[in-house]
Structure 1
Amino acid sequence: MAKRLMEALDGEQAYVTPKGTFVLPSSHLFIGFAETATALGQAVFSCFEQNALYWHTTREKINELPDLFDFEEEHCHAPEHRLYAVKASFFDNDHPIVLIDDELTTGKSALNFIKTIEQKYSRKNYYVLTLLDWRSQEDRAALKQMEKELGVSIQVFSLLSGTLESWGTVVEREIGTFYNAENAYWAHNRFNEKDLTEKVTHKASSPSLSCLYDLKEVEREPLAGGTAVEVIEYEVEQGLPFTSMDSTGWVNGAPYLPYTGRFGMTTKEQAQMEALACKVGTQLQQLRRGSKTLCLGTGEFMYLPFKIASYMGEKVLVQATTRSPVYPVDKEDYGIRHALAFPSADDPLIPNYVYNIGVGKYEEIFLFLERPLPKERIIPLLQALDSTGIQSIYIVVPVYGSVLNQFDES
């Protein structure tokens, strides 16, 4: 996908470095769409050594920042997207924007986003990079019409394009067994706002922020299938001082990682993330006991876990939990054969799924959390994984040497 963009920029002094990375002729803003393309977008962004900034949209509600943009993905089960930037001037320019998604069905999501950007920060050039392009001729004509209306250029590049047809009757069925601990939908007023603020303030400089929610207590929670659970902490130099609120009104006061793109990333920060992934992956490799290992990201948090997995040795597979409901059929050559369903650890009112983890497929799972969470919120996912005969689950979570008092806008 990065090569397709470079081909489009041919003749504009873009070039390839001896390391195989690309250098753009001017600054470009890369934006990955949540949920799947948070990782895909960052993977594309990682191919560029200079003149690139990366963001991804999110469905999380950040308390300390206003939405810079919000728009809807019309056909999606989770339509609302938000985009946050600690400094609006990141977008107050005419730099080309590169939108990245896993597939275009109608292309309306990209067009809605471009229309939203043009209302605040007009520019001339947009690129849309996607793995799959299923747009109809009418959808393609709608893009051309928007180009004329807005006076912009929108170029779309895909690795595969075609058309989709469907037939038969839609059957309404549950997707997998829904695992829900008795207290998973825990009352969001377990800590009132004052108590939570005091806890966050008290723990903000602690090297072990997972203690904030007693996450390590999950190691003492017996699972029916006998899966052993261990919490593994890795240190990050500084966390970002932002909190989030879920749909129940509960506030997670744990800091955010600086290397996900949720608040914007530079190529320098991407290099720092790569070094962190190498360090953590090398450490986790020492914990491996089996030959069938899965590194499992959670929701929008995929890219860093996948990079860490790349440093953990051979025979390591990667995937992530998701909001996307897909009906499984256990038959040969079908793409989704098994499904597990459970409440999201980040927001227990939102169903989440994980696919193709059949009984006995893995011996151990490294489960990556972006932020510490109360043990009650992670138990349903652990129960779901335990049902597949996993021997060991390692919950991998960041801790911080310090937390920034304010975000560095430089």
Structure 2
Amino acid sequence: MRNAVNNGVWSGTWVAERLGLELVGDDALPEMLGLALRRNPKRAHLLVSHVLGKHVPQSPAVVHGHGLALGRRVRELLGPEEAAKAVVLGYAETATGLGHCVADGVGVAPYLHSTRRPVPGVATAGGFEESHSHATSHLLLPEDPTLLVGDGPLVLVDDEFSTGNTVLNTIRDLHGRYPRGRYVVVALVDMRSAADAGRLDDFAREIGARVDLVATASGTVLLPEGVLEKGQALVARHEAEAAANGERSAAGSSGPVAQFPAPLEDVAAEARCDTPGAHPAADRTGQTPARGTATRVDLHWPRGLPDGGRHGFTPAHRDRLEAALPAMTARLAEAIPVDARSVLVLGFEELMYTPLRLARELAETVPAEVRYSTTTRSPVLAVDDPGYAIRSRIVFPAHDDPADGPGERYAYNVAGGGFDAVVAVVDSVADTPLLHAPDGLLSRLAAHTPHVVLAVVPSYVPEPLYAAALPEKRRLMLPEPLRGPAFSSYAPEEVGWLLQDLSDVTLEAPTEEREEAIQSGGAHYAESLPVEYQPSEQYQELFHAALQTSAERIAQAVGVVTETVIAERSPRPVLVSLARAGTPVGVLMRRWARFRHGLDLPHYAVSIVRGRGIDANALRWLAAHHDPRDVVFVDGWTGKGAITRELAAAIEEFEAGGGAAGFDPEIAVLADPGSCVRTYGTREDFLIPSACLNSTVSGLISRTVLRADLVGPDDFHGAKFYRELAGVDVSTDFLDAVAARFPEVAEAVGGAVKELLAGDRTPSWEGWAAVERISEEYGIHDVNLVKPGVGETTRVLLRRVPWKILARAGAGADLDHVRLLAGQRGVPVEEVGDLPYTCVGLIHPQFTRGATGADGKAVTV
């Protein structure tokens, strides 16, 4: 083991002398910290902890002991009553294990750590940025959404407290959603400057909460002017010298190193065993493994036990782990060479706590000296000098399909460590071909130790938890989303309907009766349903022909709007379609995300009613299960933009009434002919075949219903499932036909998105202006009775009593179905030269026989 002070030389001397740095503070600091240089444009030096178990192999008892001691100090600070209500939050990746140890010391506290690994299907409870890090985005993914809710103290744990920015960003983010009265910040070392030290007190006063700090040691690093530039120049010089001398990477050598590793393809792929004194040895089964291979050990990990704190780790989980550790460690011990004198247990990035506990138990089981450290994604310069904290490093490809794409990962101070065996502990997500590749981690380790052992812990992915996330702020327990095949003909994973099933209620009324009641003010359109349109054979043929013609164009628009959402709104959006026209589009966007990015996005359908707003209970459900900032509302198309405005007003009203903040009211649409939104697939007004039909292209679901005698204050809005129409259902046909075109439009989508993101997409609302003009010109004087665009015109012909159809002169096949429907219903189609839409459907404002039109002549409807 290399201590921070080795033979009288402090492991920060090399950096301090060359950059003019000075470490001042508690006497314990030189024993706890060394210094290294890293390739980072924000901070040149790296404080290397010798008691954390990340970069420097250390006794697992020392690592666990420091965390336990901090946790016990927190428990003493809080007192038994407050400690019993505390929640501990650790930071990825460096402090995930430390935070878990602190939770052990507090005693009864549940534990959660942030993560940089998105997990499909798990709701995000928050996120924040780490300003100085090379990889900044942190996610909070608790299995239990109530974990961060409550009035007990929140204990935030990091390895070092330097500027305080990361911690303050976290508290600010969480306090806005889950306010509480007390926070405790915990770190191994408090390295704030005098200026930064005062910010914590100012911040506490700003949010009206108490914020305490607990640290093992404190001090600061005095930085001379220009230190960043000096550090970068120093790194560049050593890299150039290494390249000139033709030195090999630490990945293939245990000799002196003063460089970042060469590209992976330049490193010898064959694993070698050239560590001084290394020799193959038999394990306790009497077997001698082949050189360069790894012995896999089945730990018999307890079923359902989380592998760490990524989704939360409770005291009950801790009890299960404690009970299982002796048997799991005994299996590891069987694979350790009988004459091994030095063993390293090597954890994997965020997976720190489980390997640490296995290492501590192993140290009590085998006679060898056991050390513990973990791999990391942080690139650090390695210099084989006693006055430098990172003496060697192993480089290997990332092997867990990381969110930030392929890249290099590192293990420090392992090469040249003289370990007789290395036990690599990874989770199952990371047990990939790249782990076992010739240039992978296992082969790299085999170049420096005669015996490599692999233990794989099952990656824990929680089942979706549909429970009240904010029990003290909610008056009700909302049900789980409805899913097919019980409700809708869509597959259950395609969409969850935040609706109640009114299939057994008679809601349909003749179209003429509904129209008269709506226009007379006697009823709202959402209080009843039109009789479901039964398409003729001719009309069904027209639908299929239109689908065949336009599938490619729709596929491209789906790709464009989805890529725009992922690029601008959220890397893992929660799609919330506005039922029902938006639902097929939401399903297609979900399919595109899976096709192009391997993402399994959550998708729900909710009700929004013109004049009544969006379903507030659905918003409450979404806020309880997802971060509202990730929610993207989806619709099929814009007409004049009424729903766009309706949604914005409804979200504002929801937040003003105490609802969760963070919902973005802008809708993402497949087509935006009205120029009402910034996020769209196209602004062309063309035929979207899903507009040709009603329920039979929308999962057999009716439009939504909001009626006081059926929908109470604690209910979702309602809808019907027309099971009896299964024989003419084309919902899946529509989706499959469009999705089949995804591969052929992928390249075009990339170019279109690039052009779109670079252009000006500011809504002009020209559609709204055109609707107002048409309303006045045709004597309607009510914009709600002017339905612009192909989609809205189709709805008029299927559900309402239309007066006439305005068609842009020269419009072709996009209007074939409109002309067919208009002919069937005896509605005139009038060609107009200057029309921003392909067509517009008009409903006369006086639904009575003998009404007069714009020309003063009698109109019969």
Deviations 1:357-405 (A, max 9, x none): 13361121111111152223443212322332x11111111359x9986
Distance 1:354 1:91 in 2: 33
Distance 1:386 1:284 in 2: 18
Distance 2:137 2:447 in 1: 33
Deviations 1:39-87 (A, max 9, x none): 001111112333x111000000011112111100001111111111223
Deviations 1:144-196 (A, max 9, x none): 221121111111111111111245622234523454699xxxxxxxxxxxxxx
Distance 2:434 2:134 in 1: 26
Deviations 1:218-262 (A, max 9, x none): xxx9745432322222223324xxxxxxxxxxxxxxxxx514011
- Per the alignment, residue 581 of structure 2 pairs with none
- Per the alignment, residue 381 of structure 1 pairs with 441
Task: Tell whether the 8 Å contact from 2:397 to 2:408 is kept in structure 1 after alignment.
Answer: yes
- State how 1:278-317 maps to structure 2 within 5 Å: 278-289=326-337, 290-312=340-362, 313=366, 314-317=368-371
- State how 1:2-401 maps to structure 2 within 5 Å: 2-9=71-78, 12-13=79-80, 25-50=83-108, 52-167=109-224, 169-170=230-231, 171-172=235-236, 173=239, 174-179=259-264, 223-225=271-273, 226-239=291-304, 258-289=306-337, 290-312=340-362, 313=366, 314-346=368-400, 347=402, 349-359=406-416, 361-372=418-429, 373-379=431-437, 380-388=440-448, 390-398=449-457
More strand by percentage: 1
Task: Tell whether the 8 Å contact from 1:306 to 1:318 is kept in structure 2 after alignment.
Answer: yes
Question: Highest Rg: 1 or 2?
Answer: 2
SS of corresponding position for 1:88 = coil
- Indicate how the Cα distance of structure 1 residues 47 and 409 shifts in structure 2: closer, same or farther if over 3 A, else same: farther
Distance 1:13 1:262 in 2: 26
How far apart are 1:125 and its partner, in Å? 0.1
Distance 1:149 1:108 in 2: 15
Number of positions where the alignment pairs a residue of Structure 1 with one of Structure 2: 341
How far apart are 1:324 and its partner, in Å? 1.9
What one-letter code is carried by the residue in structure 1 that aligns with 2:426?
Answer: L
SS of corresponding position for 2:84 = strand
Task: Tell whether the 8 Å contact from 2:307 to 2:427 is kept in structure 1 after alignment.
Answer: no
Q: Which moved more, 1:102-111 or 1:330-339?
A: 330-339
Task: Tell whether the 8 Å contact from 1:277 to 1:308 is kept in structure 2 after alignment.
Answer: yes
How far apart are 1:137 and its partner, in Å? 1.8
- Indicate how the Cα distance of structure 1 residues 131 and 282 shifts in structure 2: closer, same or farther if over 3 A, else same: same
What one-letter code is carried by the residue in structure 1 that aligns with 2:351?
Answer: F
Task: Tell whether the 8 Å contact from 2:299 to 2:332 is kept in structure 1 after alignment.
Answer: no
Distance 1:55 1:135 in 2: 25
SS of corresponding position for 1:27 = coil
SS of corresponding position for 2:199 = helix
More helix by percentage: 2
Task: Tell whether the 8 Å contact from 2:422 to 2:451 is kept in structure 1 after alignment.
Answer: yes
- Indicate how the Cα distance of structure 1 residues 375 and 13 shifts in structure 2: closer, same or farther if over 3 A, else same: closer
How far apart are 1:25 and its partner, in Å? 4.8
Distance 1:3 1:25 in 2: 10
Task: Tell whether the 8 Å contact from 1:85 to 1:263 is kept in structure 2 after alignment.
Answer: yes
- Indicate how the Cα distance of structure 1 residues 7 and 25 shifts in structure 2: closer, same or farther if over 3 A, else same: closer
Q: Which has the higher contact order (CA 8 A, sep 6+)?
A: 1
- Indicate how the Cα distance of structure 1 residues 89 and 223 shifts in structure 2: closer, same or farther if over 3 A, else same: same
TM-score by length of 1: 0.77
Distance 2:204 2:211 in 1: 7
What one-letter code is carried by the residue in structure 2 that aligns with 1:32?
Answer: G
How far apart are 1:315 and its partner, in Å? 0.7
What one-letter code is carried by the residue in structure 1 that aligns with 2:442?
Answer: L
Structure 2 unmatched ranges of 5 or more = 1-69, 240-258, 274-290, 469-861
Distance 1:367 1:150 in 2: 44
- Indicate how the Cα distance of structure 1 residues 399 and 40 shifts in structure 2: closer, same or farther if over 3 A, else same: closer
- Indicate how the Cα distance of structure 1 residues 25 and 133 shifts in structure 2: closer, same or farther if over 3 A, else same: closer
- Indicate how the Cα distance of structure 1 residues 374 and 6 shifts in structure 2: closer, same or farther if over 3 A, else same: closer
TM-score by length of 2: 0.38
Distance 2:458 2:166 in 1: 35
SS of corresponding position for 1:87 = coil
Distance 1:124 1:151 in 2: 7
SS of corresponding position for 1:161 = strand
Distance 1:404 1:326 in 2: 34
SS of corresponding position for 1:237 = coil
Structure 1 unmatched ranges of 5 or more = 15-23, 183-220, 240-256
Deviations 1:239-288 (A, max 9, x none): 4xxxxxxxxxxxxxxxxx51401111111111111222222112211221
SS of corresponding position for 1:89 = coil
Task: Tell whether the 8 Å contact from 2:75 to 2:83 is kept in structure 1 after alignment.
Answer: no
Task: Tell whether the 8 Å contact from 2:383 to 2:390 is kept in structure 1 after alignment.
Answer: yes
Task: Tell whether the 8 Å contact from 1:281 to 1:310 is kept in structure 2 after alignment.
Answer: no
What one-letter code is carried by the residue in structure 1 that aligns with 2:207?
Answer: L
- CA RMSD of superposed structures (Å): 2.6
Deviations 1:82-101 (A, max 9, x none): 11122322222111100011
Distance 2:360 2:130 in 1: 32
Distance 2:375 2:428 in 1: 15
What one-letter code is carried by the residue in structure 2 that aligns with 1:67?
Answer: T
- Indicate how the Cα distance of structure 1 residues 135 and 291 shifts in structure 2: closer, same or farther if over 3 A, else same: same
Task: Tell whether the 8 Å contact from 2:344 to 2:421 is kept in structure 1 after alignment.
Answer: yes
How far apart are 1:130 and its partner, in Å? 0.3
Distance 2:197 2:426 in 1: 39
Task: Tell whether the 8 Å contact from 1:175 to 1:340 is kept in structure 2 after alignment.
Answer: no
- Indicate how the Cα distance of structure 1 residues 6 and 56 shifts in structure 2: closer, same or farther if over 3 A, else same: same
